[in-house]
């Protein structure tokens, strides 16, 4: 192989590797969700008076979003579900709704993803949140279970994806 051909091949390979590196970097950095935030609760005593607050800014009018609640809980959580009340305020909106999150199947196995003693159940909301106008909103979440304080819940997340 001539020195010139070797040099051209080496330069081409370096450019190919550089292009691959840039491609992988930008692909890995792509944001999966428009909004995703988890709030940690006291795993031993989440009280019904403990309000989890999420601040969201909608960047433009008339966007369609898919909203989800995500619950991280221990496998030792004693109930099969979790009742929550979700409040939405801001930009002319002031509403609330109750929502049940199923955490365990009838056979006692947890829904969602499991790793060790921690389970994560993410459920799309059937009720669309009224975040259609550009502006700032606050979503607040409280637990509505009969046991107060509640133990076994670790984190509660709000996930918003553009449709």
Same domain, 16 and 39: no
Which residues, 6+ apart, have CB-to-CB distance to 129 below 8 Å?
65, 67, 86, 88, 137, 139
Separation of alpha carbons 102 and 80, rounded Å:
6
Positions of the chain with pLDDT lower than 50, given as ranges: 21-29
pLDDT for 89 equals 93
CATH number (domain holding residue 145): 2.60.120
| Threshold 0.75, pTM exceeds | yes
Same domain, 36 and 24: no
pLDDT for 19 equals 52
pLDDT for 11 equals 67
pLDDT for 14 equals 61
Cβ count within 10 A of residue 48 = 15
Single out the residue of 91, 154, 73, 85 nearest to residue 125, CA to CA. Answer: 85
Same domain, 82 and 26: no
Read off the tokens for 27: 């692909």
Separation of alpha carbons 90 and 94, rounded Å:
7
Range of the domain at 123: 32-162
Same domain, 17 and 86: no
Provide the phi-psi class of 112: left if phi over 0, else alpha when psi is between -120 and 50, else beta.
left
């Amino acid at each position: 192989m001539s020195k010139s051909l070797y040099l051209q091949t080496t330069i081409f390979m370096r450019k190919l590797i550089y292009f691959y590196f840039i491609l992988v970097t930008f692909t890995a950095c792509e944001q999966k969700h428009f909004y995703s935030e988890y709030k940690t609760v006291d795993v031993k005593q989440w009280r019904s008076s403990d309000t989890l607050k999420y601040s969201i800014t909608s960047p433009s009018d008339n966007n369609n979003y898919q909203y989800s609640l995500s619950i991280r809980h221990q496998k030792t959580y004693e109930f099969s579900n979790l009742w929550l009340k979700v409040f939405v305020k801001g930009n002319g909106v002031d509403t609330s709704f109750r929502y049940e999150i199923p955490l365990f199947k009838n056979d006692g196995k947890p829904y969602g993803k499991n790793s060790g003693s921690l389970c994560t159940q993410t459920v799309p909301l059937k009720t669309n949140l009224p975040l259609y106008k550009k502006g700032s909103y606050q979503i607040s979440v409280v637990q509505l279970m009969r046991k107060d304080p509640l133990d076994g819940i670790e984190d509660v997340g709000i996930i918003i994806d553009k449709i």
